[in-house]
Amino acid sequence: MKFTLVKDVKHDSLMRPLLGGLLLFIFLFLTADIFLKNDHIGLTPTTLSQTLFGNEEEFIEPASEHFLLELMHSDIFFMMMTLLTLSAVYARLCQNNTLRLVNINVTMIAALLAILFLPLAYYLSAHFILPYIAAFYLWHLMALMMTLASLFYLFVPQKSDLN
């Protein structure tokens, strides 16, 4: 996390390519996570409902509590690592305070809601399936946008850099 100590990250010959690589891997991780979740549990109301509750007509067993807890455990860890690192980079590179504050907070809140809505759907009601899917896509899309914006701020000269 040396980039939090370097004053001018954009012009540091060591930190700029390192942050570029980090952001590239975060982008790839977020993209792969969408495809992985779609394959494992489904990201449509029908497929997610079948995963959580099963389907007797198609001989699909419901997900076990062990599966759900393991999924939540890994999601919490990877969300924390990804979002805290991405937020630290984005906060250093984004010059607009309001935009920075809104984007980081919306992304974090959506990720926390996704963690909350999946077990609520499993244990309480299928009504939480759509909110889970919406929160999942919202935090992923916001994180992808923050990643691309950070890459833009890192590698494209801004007006303030030219002065």
Q: Inter-axis angle of helices 97-123 and 129-155, to 10 degrees?
A: 150
**How far from 9 is each of 17, 21, 42, 147, 163, CA to CA, in Å?**
10, 14, 39, 16, 17
Domain boundaries, the chain: 30-40+63-158
Model pLDDT for residues 49-94, shown as the tens digit of each residue: 999 998 888 888 989 999 999 999 999 999 999 999 999 999 999 9
Joined tokens for residue 28: 């790839």
User: Is pTM beyond 0.95 here?
Assistant: no
Residue pointed to by tokens 């494209």: 156
Burial of residue 116 (CB within 10 Å: 0-12, 13-18, 19+) is middle
pLDDT-derived band at 157 (thresholds 50, 70, 90) equals confident
Where do the H-state alpha helices sit in the chain? 15-40, 45-53, 65-93, 97-123, 129-155, 159-162
Model pLDDT for residues 115-139, shown as the tens digit of each residue: 999 999 999 999 999 999 999 999 9
| Range with the poorest average pLDDT among 2-11, 50-59, 76-85, 148-157 | 2-11
Q: Give residue 28's Cα distance to chain centre.
A: 11
